[in-house]
Structure 1
Amino acid sequence: MTTATKTRIWQDNALVIDPRHLGITASGRELEKLFVNFCNQNTQSIWQFELSPDGEIIAMPPVHYPSDDQEGETFGRLLFWTDDNGGQARNSNSSFLMPNGGVLVPDASWTSQEKWDAHPHVPGDANPFCPDFVVEIRSTSDNLAPLQAKMRLYLENGALLGWLIDPANRQVYVYRAGQNEPERLDNPVTLSGEDVLTGFVFEVARWIFDRN
Structure 2
Amino acid sequence: MLLEFPVVLKKLDTMTDDEFFAFCRANDPMEFERDKNGNIIIVSPTGSKTGLRNITLGGELYAWNKYHDLGYAFDSSTGFNLPNGATRSPDAAWIVKERWEAIPEEQQEKFAPICPDFVIELRSASDDLKYLQNKMEEFRENNCRLGWLIDRKEQNVHIYRPDQPVETVQSFDSMLSGEDVLPGFTFDLRLLNR
Is the TM value for this pair above 0.5?
yes
Larger relative contact order (Cα-Cα within 8 Å, sequence gap ≥ 6)? 2
1:117 to 101, 105, 109: 101
Task: Name the residue aligned to 2:14.
Answer: 26
SS of corresponding position for 1:169: coil
Q: Could you tell me the TM-score, scaled by structure 2's length?
A: 0.93
Q: Could you list the per-position Cα deviations for residues 135-176 of structure 1 after superposition, in whole angstroms to 9, with x for gaps in the alignment?
A: 000011111111001001101111000000001221000001
> For the aligned residues, what is the CA RMSD?
1.6
1:131 to 116, 123, 128: 116
Where does 1:176-195 land on structure 2 (aligned, <5 Å)?
Answer: 176-179=161-164, 181-188=165-172, 189-195=174-180
SS of corresponding position for 1:54: coil
2:48 to 65, 70, 79: 65
Matched, 1:93 2:107: no
Contact map agreement 2:54 2:122 (CA 8 A) in 1: yes
Q: Could you tell me the TM-score, scaled by structure 1's length?
A: 0.85
AA in 1 matched with 2:146: L
AA in 2 matched with 1:186: Q
Task: Name the residue aligned to 1:15.
Answer: 7
SS of corresponding position for 2:83: coil
Name structure 1 gaps, 5 residues minimum.
Answer: 1-9
Larger radius of gyration: 1
Deviation at 1:124, TM superposition (A): 4.2
Runs of 4 or more above 4 Å deviation:
none
CA 1:164–1:144: 2 relative to 1, 3 Å: same
Which whole-Å CA distance do the structure 2 matches of 1:159 and 1:70 have between them?
23
Aligned-residue sequence identity (percent) comes to: 36
Contact map agreement 1:48 1:61 (CA 8 A) in 2: yes
